[in-house]
Every structure is written in C-alpha cells, then in structure tokens.
C-alpha cells in the first residue's frame, strides 16, 4: 500500500502541479485538503480539478467560524498589529490551516504533509512550525525548497509540466499579483509593488473596496456592541462574529476603509512590499480600541499595548502553538472582562470618525474630568504629587549645576 501525503491545496497552478510531482518523485497517494477561511469563489470547481490532476481525494474544510472565533478574536482583543500597520490576515489563518491539515493527516493515516509556500516567504515558517508543534512525527515536504527535483521556475514551466502529465486546465501564463484572501483580508504582492518607488495601481489592484477618493461623498453612521471584548451586533442586529466581519467588510469596502501600503520585515530577513485590504478588520479593531479607552485603567492599557505588540510578533512568526502565545492570550482575556458597551462612529472616505461610546463599566467621570472641583479631587493635592513625581528631575538638575561649578 502506498504511503499517503496530505497536500494543502488551493486549486491554483502551483498546488495543481505539485500533485503529479508528488506522485512522480515519491510515489505517494495524494490527499488534497482545501481549507476554507472565507476566500469565496476561489473554491469553485476544485473537486474536479483535484481529481483530474491525480489526487485520490479532496477534502474541503469550512473553517470560517473557527478562524473567526479562535484566531481573529484573540488578536482583536490583544490589539495585535504587526509593525503598526499589518492586521495579520494571512498570519492568523496559517495556524488554523496547519491544525486541520494535521487532523486530516491523522484521519487518513498519512505520513507526510506538503505545502506550496515558497522558500522566501513567511508562510513556510507558519505552516511548518504549526505542524511540528502538533505532529512532530509527520514529514514535511516543501517542493519550492527542493530545487534538485523541483525544477520548475515559472508559471510557463508549471503549465507545461501539467500538460506533459495529461492535465489540461485553463491556467494562463499571464503575470498577475500574488494574492492571499480570506474573510479578514486580501493581500497583494508583485508587479509594480515590487518597487517601493512605484505608486500602487489601485484601479487594477483593489478587490474588496474602493479608494477613499472613490468612496461616497456622504458619510455613514455605524453602531456596534461588544460583550467582554467580543463583537455582538452591528446597527442593532445581533450576529455571530463571522457575519459581523462580512457586514463590516461590505461597509468598509464601500467607504475606502483599511487599505494599507507597507514595506514589512519578513521573518526570513528580507523586506517585502505589499498592499493589504482589511476593511472590516480595520473597523473592528478601531471600534474595540474605542471601547477599551473607556474601561481600562492607564497601567493596564500600557502593559496591554506591549502585550499586543508581542502577540503580533508571535502570530507573524508562526508561533501560535506555543506556551508564550497561550500566556499572552490569557493576560489579554483577563483585561476583557469589562470591555462591554456600545460604540458609534462614522465611516467617511477612508476615515473612522468617533461618534460616541458608552459602557456600564466606563471609568470616565464627568465630574472628575470637568474643571469644577468635586469631592474626589482637590487641586491642592497636586502640589505634593508634583513635588514627589518631579523629585528625580530636580535632584539631577541640582547635581549637574553643582558639577558645573567645579
């Protein structure tokens, strides 16, 4: 009986060419596994394509709600943003995918998992760290790094290889952006984006929305509610998290929200330039932060910001299945106990404009914040506070003045 390999299958040219390649070079039985994280019509016709290419079976696994509830929400609650801009759309999905690949491999009795990530990117790290953490005994096959037997260097090479193996599919050799899409975002790399001096061709590039310049001239008000840091409704309609993100994507795309052009530092050491569209995610992160401003105290906010940066680094580097991620997430979850309330804002030409926030746990006190003196705050108390708070500065200044005299 042949050994089995589970292939992370997207239906694109790369993973289609990998099917006959695995059979030719390893004599494996190939089990394709396509993980649906909300990539839409990219899943159409995959069953026939996988079978035509020589796979013995195709799993199409719907992970949308798992992705939203168990990966996106912890990152939203943490405020996890990589290098101040990237909302981790691809990064968050990879551990969810790796986990399901391992589950399918166990179910099928496979001895290996194969992925089509390149040897220059972050995804190879994310997939493989996830697999190693969950199934250290499984072999990992990464064709793009096996240059002695993976000799294809271009789309034309892959199309010809498929043709030679009797696979005639409507793939074209035209150059287009390299994209990754799920419910949270879509990323774009390649073409003019490879030169940081070039302006993105947004007319050609955008998929989920429009530029702020093309957004409506009339703003739109949106109201959201949260319970313990988890979104529960949009404009009065209660929805599960995945439907909330779908709704926010629609609203954000319409108003030009969440388009990010970034040169980021990859884990493998190089810089890369890409454009991310994250319309709904940008709104959700901002609304959550708007509510936290009311209910978290200063010291917790300060520490949580550091933890959010740490969480972003952990997720970006593919270290989801680690004690550190669990510990950071546990801290973040403890801060979310009172992040409950309603957030209102206006979407207008790429902007999210605050329009009022309320929470039963708000720490904002109008009597304290106003310029009138209330029972809790005596202006005279500030004298002693400033004396002690500024004491180190005063002592140092006195010492420096003394040293100058000598």
Residues 8 and 154 in one domain: yes
Residues 187 and 289 in one domain: yes
Q: What's the rounded mean pLDDT across residues 329-344?
A: 98
Number of H-type helices and E-type strands within the chain: 15, 14
Question: Could you confirm whether 178 is annotated as catalytic?
Answer: yes
pLDDT for the residue numbered 225: 98
CA 57 to chain centre: 30
Does 319 reside within a domain? no
Which of these, 323, 349, 315, 331, lies nearest to 229 by C-alpha position? 331
Does 209 reside within a domain? yes
For residue 373, pLDDT beyond 80: no
Residues 10 and 64 in one domain: yes
Does 310 reside within a domain? no
For residue 392, pLDDT beyond 80: yes
The catalytically annotated residue of 49, 94, 181, 246 is 94
For residue 172, pLDDT beyond 90: no
pLDDT for the residue numbered 384: 95
Which residues contact residue 204 at a Cβ distance below 8 angstroms, ignoring those fewer than 6 apart? none
The catalytically annotated residue of 36, 100, 123, 126 is 123
Q: Which two tokens stand for residue 229?
A: 């840091």
Residues 14 and 111 in one domain: yes
Q: What's the rounded mean pLDDT across residues 187-205?
A: 97
For residue 374, pLDDT beyond 70: no
For residue 176, pLDDT beyond 90: no
Residues 350 and 216 in one domain: yes
- Binned at pLDDT 50, 70 and 90, residue 372 comes out as low
Q: What is the CATH number of the domain that holds 196?
A: 3.90.1260.10
Q: What is the CATH number of the domain that holds 112?
A: 3.40.50.620
Residues 348 and 388 in one domain: no
pLDDT for the residue numbered 370: 73
113, 135, 164 - which closes a domain: 164
Sign of the CA dihedral running 114, 99, 121, 256: positive
Q: What's the rounded mean pLDDT across residues 168-193?
A: 91
For residue 371, pLDDT beyond 70: no
Residues 253 and 130 in one domain: no
For residue 2, pLDDT beyond 70: yes
Share of the chain above pLDDT 90, in %: 90
For residue 367, pLDDT beyond 80: no
On whether the CB atoms of residues 111 and 135 are closer than 8 A, the answer is no
Instruction: Tell me which H or E stretch contains 74.
Output: helix 73-78
CA 252 to chain centre: 17
- Binned at pLDDT 50, 70 and 90, residue 368 comes out as confident
Report the SS3 class of residue 154: coil
Q: Give the pLDDT confidence of 75-123 residue by residue, as tens digits.
A: 999 999 999 999 999 999 999 999 999 999 999 999 999 999 999 999 9
Question: Could you confirm whether 123 is annotated as catalytic?
Answer: yes
Question: Could you confirm whether 14 is annotated as catalytic?
Answer: yes
Mean pLDDT of all residues belonging to the chain:
95
Residues 345 and 281 in one domain: yes
pLDDT for the residue numbered 55: 97
Residues 140 and 205 in one domain: no
Q: Give the pLDDT confidence of 16-32 residue by residue, as tens digits.
A: 999 999 999 999 999 99
Instruction: State how far the Cα of 276 lies from the Cα of 316, in Å rounded to an integer.
Output: 15
The catalytically annotated residue of 178, 242, 272, 362 is 178
pLDDT for the residue numbered 41: 75
The range of the structural domain enclosing residue 267 comes to 178-296+339-358
Does 8 reside within a domain? yes
pLDDT for the residue numbered 162: 95
pLDDT for the residue numbered 158: 94
Residues 200 and 284 in one domain: yes
Q: What's the rounded mean pLDDT across residues 223-238?
A: 98
Structural domains in the chain (count): 3
Does 268 reside within a domain? yes
- Binned at pLDDT 50, 70 and 90, residue 174 comes out as confident
Does 122 reside within a domain? yes
Instruction: State how far the Cα of 262 lies from the Cα of 264, in Å rounded to an integer.
Output: 6
């Amino acid at each position: 009986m042949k050994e089995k390999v589970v292939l992370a299958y997207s239906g694109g040219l790369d993973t289609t060419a990998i099917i006959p390649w695995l059979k030719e070079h390893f004599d494996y039985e190939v089990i394709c596994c396509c993980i649906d994280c909300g990539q839409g019509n990219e899943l159409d016709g995959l069953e026939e394509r996988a079978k035509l290419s020589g796979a013995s079976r195709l799993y199409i696994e719907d992970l949308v709600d798992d992705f939203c509830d168990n990966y996106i929400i912890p990152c939203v609650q943490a405020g996890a943003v990589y290098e101040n801009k990237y909302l981790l759309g691809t990064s968050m999905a990879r551990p969810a995918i790796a986990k399901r690949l391992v589950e399918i491999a166990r179910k099928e009795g496979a001895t290996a998992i194969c992925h089509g990530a390149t040897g220059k990117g972050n995804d190879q790290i994310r997939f493989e760290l996830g697999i190693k953490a969950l199934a250290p005994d499984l072999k990992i096959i990464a064709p793009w790094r096996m240059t002695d037997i993976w000799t294809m260097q271009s789309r034309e090479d892959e199309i010809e290889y498929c043709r030679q193996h009797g696979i005639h599919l409507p793939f074209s050799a035209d150059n287009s952006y390299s994209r990754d899409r799920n419910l949270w975002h879509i990323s774009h790399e390649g073409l003019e984006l490879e030169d940081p001096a070039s302006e993105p061709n947004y007319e050609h590039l955008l998929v989920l929305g429009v530029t702020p310049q093309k957004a409506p001239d009339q703003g739109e008000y949106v109201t959201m509610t949260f319970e313990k840091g988890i979104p529960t409704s949009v404009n009065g309609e209660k929805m599960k998290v995945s439907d909330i993100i779908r709704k926010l994507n629609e609203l954000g795309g319409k108003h030009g929200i969440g388009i990010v052009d970034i040169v980021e530092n990859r884990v493998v050491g190089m810089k890369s330039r890409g454009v991310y569209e994250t319309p709904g995610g940008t709104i959700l992160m901002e609304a959550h932060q708007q509510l936290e401003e009311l209910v978290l105290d200063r010291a917790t906010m300060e520490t949580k910001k550091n933890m959010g940066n740490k969480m972003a680094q952990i997720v970006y580097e593919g270290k989801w299945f680690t004690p550190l991620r669990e510990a950071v997430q546990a801290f973040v979850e403890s801060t979310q106990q009172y992040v409950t309330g309603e957030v209102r804002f206006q979407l207008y030409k790429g902007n999210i404009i605050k329009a009022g926030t309320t929470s039963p746990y708000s720490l904002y006190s109008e009597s304290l914040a106003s310029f009138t003196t209330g029972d809790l705050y005596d202006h005279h108390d500030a004298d002693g506070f400033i004396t002690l708070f500024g004491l180190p500065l005063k002592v140092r200044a006195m010492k420096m003045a003394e040293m100058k005299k000598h």
